[in-house]
Amino acid sequence: MPKFKDRKRLLPLIVLTLLGMGALLSCRGKSEDTSNAEYAHKDTLRVATIYGPASFFSYRDTLMGYDYDFMEALAAHHDKSVRWVVARSIEEAVDMAVDGDVDLIAAPIPVEEAEQEWSDKIILCGPTKSVDEVLIQPQNEVALVNLPDLKGHTIYVIAGSESEENLRFVDRQIGGGINIVPIDPDSLAIEDMLAEVADGSRGWVATDRETAKINKTYHPELQITLSLSSPQNTRWGVALSHKELGETIDKWCDEGVAVKERADILYKYLDAQKVAPVTGADYDREFKNGYASPYDPLFKAHAEGSRWDWRLLAAQGYTESRFDSTARSFAGASGVMQIMPGTARDFGLKKAEMKSPDRSIETAVKILDRYDQMMAEKVPDPEERTKFALAAYNAGPGHVFDAINLAKKYGYDPTVWDDNVEKAMLMKMKRKYYRDPVVKFGYSRGRETVDYVNRIYKYYDQAVANIHKGDAFETTHT
């Protein structure tokens, strides 16, 4: 498989995409001639998609997702690059394809809905993905295997979702007896519900298998048990006038290399553990020995001349990797400070240096400095802004700016993190809010970002209480 061609980083790409989308939408009815013969000569394919928790999203300034990765692999195979256009819904993406504003749709289009609603507009093509509804139980419970066994049990479900509709159908099929508890999606995200199942504070939950599998990669304690529905298929699509492009995509999807590529991509997002087990040293959290990390001199040296407390940097290093210089995340972030490959390139950190604690910490300080500068106008108080910069390090600044905009719109203080912008960050896990007009960067796993900032400060507060700012452990592991 050739290397991906022209895989652009998030910030410049999204700006281009949003500007391009405005231009495309204003030109409806004036679409350019894009006959099938033209594709062989095109260097760039215009691809519509929608934000989603696994198919297309941004993480630490980098576009990711299985639809994103697979489309980029397909384009690279045909020596093309991709211009991504983010639609607000599948319906809008279909309109873009029909009007000639994009060449294809790389997003999960429900097959049944497409056959009923859009058979005169698009042809389905590309990878088929099947998703059913499932029951989630705590890991220590006996797994249910028969639908009638659901009688007498309480099952939580997102109100108004397909999961609720399907569960009520199951209830009727077995003659009733399931205590179905709908949860307002604006008050609690499905990610939070499943986290509560994992920690034992909530009982059973019904959701789709994809959501369940994604969340199990963060919470291994979840048990995906009984299937509650027949599978529903999704595919990509092209306009009727681009039938040959669809056939080309189908042909490539059937090739052995593409089959393996897609299997690896699906594993990356739906099965690979996102929270690695702690493999680094078990450091004394009471700091009785007078040091915060094995790299105290490095944290102190690189904090000098900046506004960052070296103990805060050490707390961030612990949260990122447990001070494991060999750590690597599912997304490709590496080293003590878990720096993404694209970010490393932007800051002059070479691939061979990513496992160097010295260079990793040095680069992390530069990244924090940049995010601090980016947030300065929005968050004038330096101490308060520290939390915003850390949140940007975890999620990417675009998501933090989205949260600031949501906070402003929904009555929170956009200059304060605790109980204000952090609440807006959690809102970005909910479809209503990540599709809000003030949001430009779509879905974000806000719970991860909020927990990230909290974990850093918990460690930092302990370090401050036990270690003088001028002290530093004298032995450095490299």
Q: Does pLDDT of 296 surpass 90?
A: yes
How many CB atoms within 10 Å of residue 468? 9
Q: Which CATH superfamily is domain 10-128+233-270 in?
A: Periplasmic binding protein-like II (3.40.190.10)
Q: Does pLDDT of 188 surpass 90?
A: no
Q: Pick the closest to residue 124 from 37, 36, 250 (CA basis).
A: 250
- Greater model confidence, 275 or 215: 215
Mean pLDDT throughout 210-236? 95
Measured between alpha carbons, how far is 94 from 87 in angstroms, rounded to an integer?
9
Measured between alpha carbons, how far is 346 from 116 in angstroms, rounded to an integer?
47
- Greater model confidence, 14 or 431: 431
Asked if residue 212 lies in contact with residue 137, where contact means CB atoms within 8 angstroms, the answer is no
Decide yes or no: CATH 3.40.250.10 for domain 296-466.
Answer: no
Most confident among 85-89, 323-327, 410-414 (mean pLDDT): 410-414
- Identical fold, 10-128+233-270 and 296-466: no
Asked if residue 433 lies in contact with residue 253, where contact means CB atoms within 8 angstroms, the answer is no
In a 13 Å sphere around the CA of 82, the CA atoms on its Cβ side amount to 28
The first and second tokens of residue 434, run together, are: 């990540």
Measured between alpha carbons, how far is 372 from 198 in angstroms, rounded to an integer?
35
Residue located via tokens 């490095």 = 298
The pLDDT value recorded for residue 60 is: 87
Mean pLDDT throughout 427-447? 92
Residue located via tokens 């790389």 = 106
Angle at 119 between CA 81 and CA 92, to 5 degrees: 55
What is the CATH number assigned to the segment(s) 133-230? 3.40.190.10
The pLDDT value recorded for residue 466 is: 86
The pLDDT value recorded for residue 431 is: 85
Measured between alpha carbons, how far is 164 from 190 in angstroms, rounded to an integer?
12
Residue 175 contacts by C-beta under 8 Å, 6 or more apart in sequence? 151
Question: pLDDT tens, 445-474?
Answer: 999 999 999 999 999 999 998 887 765 544
Answer left, alpha or beta for residue 64, where phi above 0 means left and psi between -120 and 50 means alpha.
beta
Give the domain ranges of the chain. Answer: 10-128+233-270, 133-230, 296-466
The first and second tokens of residue 436, run together, are: 């809000």
Asked if residue 460 lies in contact with residue 315, where contact means CB atoms within 8 angstroms, the answer is yes
Task: State the chain's mean pLDDT as an integer.
Answer: 87
Task: Tell me the pTM.
Answer: 0.83
The pLDDT value recorded for residue 274 is: 83
Q: Does pLDDT of 359 surpass 80?
A: yes
Q: Containing H/E element for 445?
A: none
Q: Does pLDDT of 149 surpass 50?
A: yes
Q: Name the burial class of residue 276, with classes exposed (0-12), middle (13-18) and buried (19+) by CB atoms within 10 angstroms of its CB.
A: middle
Q: How confident is the model at residue 185 (pLDDT cuts 50, 70, 90)?
A: confident
How many distinct helices (H) and strands (E) make up the chain? Answer: 18, 12
Ranking 17-31, 73-87, 127-141, 303-317 by mean pLDDT, the lowest is 17-31
The pLDDT value recorded for residue 478 is: 39
